[in-house]
Amino acid sequence: MISLSACEEEIKLSTVLGNDRITINAVVDPDTVVFAFISEATEFDYMSSISMRSDYHSYDKIIYSREKFEFNDSIDKKRMLKNANAELEVNGKDVYAMKYDSIYYTYNSNYIPRQGDNIKIRVSSQSNPLPDSSVVQLDPVEAEVQLPSVTPRIEVISTELSIREKETHEALEWNGEIVQLTDVFGSDTIMTIRAKIIDPGNEQNYYRLLVRSIGASRLYAGSYSAAIMRYRCVDEFKSNDRLFYDSDLIKSYGYIPAYFSNVFDDELLNGKEYEFTVESRMRADSEITPYVILELQHLSPDLYYYLKDIEVFRISDFDLYTNPIQIWSNVNGGWGVFGAMTYDTHIVPFK
């Protein structure tokens, strides 16, 4: 006779990650020197994803800002490596040392990239001191990226203003609760923009489109909740064009509807000129900065795949019963992404 029995045992999971991997997060472009966030491995969540030059929470002024991006406070700053050896190799010959900046938590070079550059980053380091003051030798890592050799082209064909009734939006709060909001972030003035993308032929290209009506160039005096509302509303736009359709995004995220993505490849463009229409709403405090910024970013392939994974990850609601989402990484021996972009930007007056 075979006797089968079952028992239940509680497994305790440690919240302390092993200090065995280096994470590199950086996006290089021809507008500023190369800098990178270099840290020990840590838990990943959407708010600790890489902050790019044109993300809504780091964009600063109407003209490109050469200031550092703000470091998100939700990231565990204790895991930033402060004594790493980091260097860049450009086009297989020139080497540039990277120095740690204790104010912005970045490793900075003095090299400003050019279109078509091939840039490799190498990092070696020990871990930050453990509770017993000891350190662990981390495996060295490296990553490589090539800047797009051409700048994408986007042209504004026409604009039109219209006044519409205020809309009710379904929004996802930070605690997961879905609420209904009635256009609390801006006026009911809509700018419809007809634009055209000119896609270079004979190559696979990857894009991100930003259409932003800036309500305030930076956060300033006011209640915390009011500042957050103003903060979140500057980077939303609408379009029914199939260019922005993504079948993987089965749920909405905040004010972004399901199946909508501003990150796309050139499958529909295919080396041609492609016309489309977007809508941008005049935002709160828009009398300060009454304009729309239209920017087409030409992404490196690794950055494109990283951003597409982030879009899927952020609608997962951290559900333990869903299939795990693997975030794209091109860091050999470690984690993170080393991406690149070029961009074409137009400023459209809101009038």
State the pairing for strand pair 335-349/22-28.
parallel
Q: Which of 23-27, 198-202, 233-237 has the highest mean pLDDT?
A: 23-27
Instruction: Count other C-beta atoms under 10 Å from residue 349's C-beta.
Output: 9
Across the beta sheet with 35-40, what order do the strands follow? Answer: 141-146, 118-124, 85-90, 94-101, 106-108, 35-40, 22-28, 335-349, 291-299, 206-213, 263-265
User: Has residue 276 got a pLDDT over 90?
Assistant: yes
d(CA 152, CA 171): 33
Residue positions counted in the chain = 351
Neighbouring C-beta atoms of residue 50, cutoff 10 Å: 21
The first and second tokens of residue 254, run together, are 């905040």
Cβ atoms 149, 115 nearer than 8 A: yes
Chain centroid, CA 184 distance in Å: 25
Check residues 229 and 30 and name the one with the higher pLDDT: 30
Do the Cβ atoms of 164 and 190 come closer than 8 Å? yes
- In tens, the pLDDT along 340-351 reads 999 999 988 877
pLDDT tens digits, one per residue of 324-343: 778 899 999 999 999 999 99
Q: What is the DSSP string of 185-200?
A: TEEEEEEEEEEEEE--
Concatenating the DSSP letter of every residue in 32-82 gives S--EEEEEE-----GGGS---TTSTTT---SSPP-SPPPPPTTS-GGGB-S
202 φψ region: left (φ > 0), alpha (ψ -120 to 50), beta (else): left
